[in-house]
Chains A and B, each alone.
Chain A
């Protein structure tokens, strides 16, 4: 089965609303990253977060290793937040190999 599951698959927000994106993994992991993928395809690293909580501006990432989950919270969404959010795990036993989720496609409307 799929080792990394992201939810929701897609999400539509009104500008100013908050969002919570989830990533769950079925096996133990060494580390994880959250990425934003621009509409033209380039990947931007948002957080590199082995465990705990990190914040950058309106974005907050929380990873709980023993519960095998990570979340990305977007507060006060803006139209420019539209795009795809991907989580990726380095699974235990797979040195430096990232396994990606399928992504959450976010659209923020005025």
Chain B
């Protein structure tokens, strides 16, 4: 069974540029999560979906970040006008929508904003 896949694996931008990250969850998983992991910190949840619906995006910097999952399968996280403080690894995870769900993570996208 294929795991969670993400692309690209690496991205390097100048401040002010835009970037999109793509995630394909495990087949059959209805819940998808996006995390941001700054260097030397644990991952922090940005947003998560059940099917195509946003369940919680309270930690998403809404002025520059957006996330969609239009068909309830793949998802895209976009950063408009990136800042140096956005430098981090962006991780996607998926799970079933059940109590005490185990989450499975993709390889991540390592973003550097110069």
Contacts and interface: CB of A to CB of B under 8 A. Distances in A.
A96 B102 contact: no
Interface string A33-55: 10100001111010010100000
Given A43-B91, A102-B40, A97 B102 contact: no
A103 interface: yes
Contacts of B44: 100
20 contacts: A30-B99, A31-B100, A41-B37, A41-B89, A41-B91, A41-B110, A42-B108, A45-B105, A50-B100, A88-B42, A90-B100, A95-B99, A96-B95, A96-B101, A97-B45, A98-B103, A101-B42, A102-B40, A103-B41, A103-B42
B107 interface: yes
B105 A35 contact: yes
A102 B41 contact: yes
Contacts of B56: 97
Interface of A: 4, 30-31, 33, 35, 40-43, 45, 48, 50, 86, 88, 90, 95-103
A70 to B, nearest CB: 14
Contacts of A102: 40-42
Interface residues of B, number: 27
A97 B91 CA distance: 14
A43 B40 CA distance: 14
Contacts of A35: 105
B65 interface: no
Contacts of A43: 43, 91, 105, 108
Contacts of B55: 96
A96 B48 CA distance: 9
Contacts of A88: 42-43, 103
Contact of A42 (B95, B103, B107): B107
Contacts of A100: 42-44
Given A41-B110, A50-B100, A96 B31 contact: yes
